Amino acid sequence: MKYIVVTGGVMSGLGKGITMASIGRILKNRGYNIVPIKIDPYINIDAGTMNPFQHGEVYVLGDGAEVDLDLGHYERFMDVELGREHNITTGIIYSAVIERERKGDYLGQTVQIIPHVTNEIKARIRSVAEKSGADVCLVEIGGTVGDIESMPFLEAVRQMQGEEDENDFLFVHVTLVPFTLLREPKTKPTQHSVKALRELGLQPDIIVCRCERALKEDVKAKIAMFCNVKKEAVISAPDAGDIYEVPLLLEQEGIAGYTMRKLQLTQLTEEDHEWAQMVERRRRSSEGKKISVALVGKYAELEDSYLSIKEAIKHAATELGCNVETKWIEAEDLEGVDGLDSFFEGVQGILVPGGFGVRGVEGKINAIEYAREHKIPFLGLCFGFQLAVIEAARNIAGLKDAHSSELCETPHPVIDLLEEQQGVEEKGGTMRLGDYEVFIRKDTLAERIFGKNKIVERHRHRYEVNPAYIERIESEGVIFSGTDRSGVRMEIVEMEEHPFFFATQFHPEFKSRPDNPSPPFKAFVEACLRE
């Protein structure tokens, strides 16, 4: 097994995840099987309870794991299906070690960071790598060098390097080369970052330099000299207009050749150029017809809160050869105002994404009502689906106080816990997380969109459409066109007499890929193009 470990320095958010995903894509293009692992040093067990304002979106894997958004990058770039074992957190490691200590597995030893915690980290990395049957295991260590919480993980990979053959281990360090106002690149942050890494016993093999513009050869030579790496191993990674261009930019810098020589890899197949062709299609689509889509969310200030939705829209636009501009609207801004025309002026579509909590709910409902009444293409996702049902119950079926029992007391809980969920106090106890089957009614918009009557999509919710209200709501031209196998849980809602009104209880954005867009997103963008 070959291992590539990606670390970062100077500041967070430099793009370690995109860098690792790009390296994985480059190796996959040469015929190698790849398995990625993301290490998050936070003490949370997973990302499920984390505030999107602080950490971006919670990405959901097929097995229901709630994980860091970087795993979404891995799945999209490398076209792989990942599971909970591919995300390791401090919380997971310490919980496992403490559980073993309580069981007596350490035979009375004093349990310490070294060797017990580091052994647990190494064992998990190797287990995932071996179980996958991959050729190369890529490991991203979150945070930055010097963070106290990442120390055990850095120590664990230092030990692993000594335990593996020297040609089986490669360290990639992502760092920042800022430019002054006079456009002079400064290498000191990179030098200090690598110095901190070397003090921990780790010597990077490759330094990926994040910068505004490409570095000149003399700057690369300076970094190579002070950081004890070969000049060809200093990779310039300037800002890209599109993240999917990054693998091609790194290729141009020679990262593939150096990586393969260091790990003694040979090209297994003729190089796959599909990625480059997809990037070219994306470039051409940016020159195509322009449309505007309003995204009404409660975390709109931080676009990474809706990262997978942004990417799914881009995937659909690439397929359709158009340029979609996203207009970000804070849901709370739509509450208590006279008319919404100014908010939606010039938009061809309205999208209401998921979210938890009561804040911004009425603003989202107002946006849905506006889309319905003004015949604007609408796409609702998860909570957006539930709010579309509430809006229909209030304004079409005449149930003026309709709401979700999750949010408030209401005489008409059109969104509620199902009978078998009642009395479960633990929030995650009845969450539907991950892949579930969805059965689609014939002769519906849903059937036309998906082209089949059974699909599997990823979920992240607890409350459901209350079966007691379905007949009342459907009598007014609302169609529940998708359900679970039992027919009790509603999964898709659409409306007659509307150019495009479609909402899903599941999250189709998590399965969208650059060369295979999610069907609901493609259909939504197509409808917007017709406006």
Catalytic residues: 382, 507, 509
Return the ∠ at Cα 306 (arms to 304 and 307), rounded to 5°. Answer: 60
Q: Which two tokens stand for residue 15?
A: 């793009």
Contacts of 192 (CB under 8 A, 6+ apart): 9, 10
DSSP state at residue 10: S
Asked if residue 389 lies in contact with residue 481, where contact means CB atoms within 8 angstroms, the answer is no
Is the alpha carbon torsion for 12, 13, 19, 22 positive or negative?
A: positive
- Match 């009978």 to its residue by tokens: 419
The continuous run of DSSP H or E covering 325 comes out as strand 323-330
Tokens at 152, concatenated: 């055990």
Query: Is residue 298 within 8 Å of 355, Cβ to Cβ?
Result: yes
Handedness of CA 505, 64, 28, 76 (dihedral sign): positive
Strands 169-176 and 34-40: unpaired
The C-alpha angle 435, 45, 146, rounded to 5 degrees, equals: 125
Q: How far apart are the first and last CA of the chain?
A: 53
From the DSSP assignment, how many helices (H) and strands (E) are in the chain? Answer: 18, 21
Alpha-carbon distance 476 to 414, whole Å? 15
Phi, psi of 512 (to 5 degrees): -75, 140
Tokens matching residue 386: 């539930």
Select from 305, 240, 274, 352 the least CA-distant residue to 513. 274
Residues 513, 151: Cα–Cα separation, whole Å: 34
Distance, in Å, from the CA atom of 71 to the CA atom of 86, rounded to the nearest integer, reads: 8
- Calculate the dihedral angle through the C-alpha atoms of 227, 233, 238, 241, rounding to the nearest 10 degrees: -150
- Is residue 405 within 8 A of residue 413, CB to CB? The reply is yes
**How far apart are the C-alpha atoms of 526 and 507, rounded to whole Å?**
19
Rounded CA-CA distance 162/172 in Å is 16
Question: Shortest CA distance to 260 belongs to which of 132, 167, 160?
Answer: 167
Angle at the Cα of 460 from the Cα atoms of 456 and 463, rounded to 5 degrees:
110
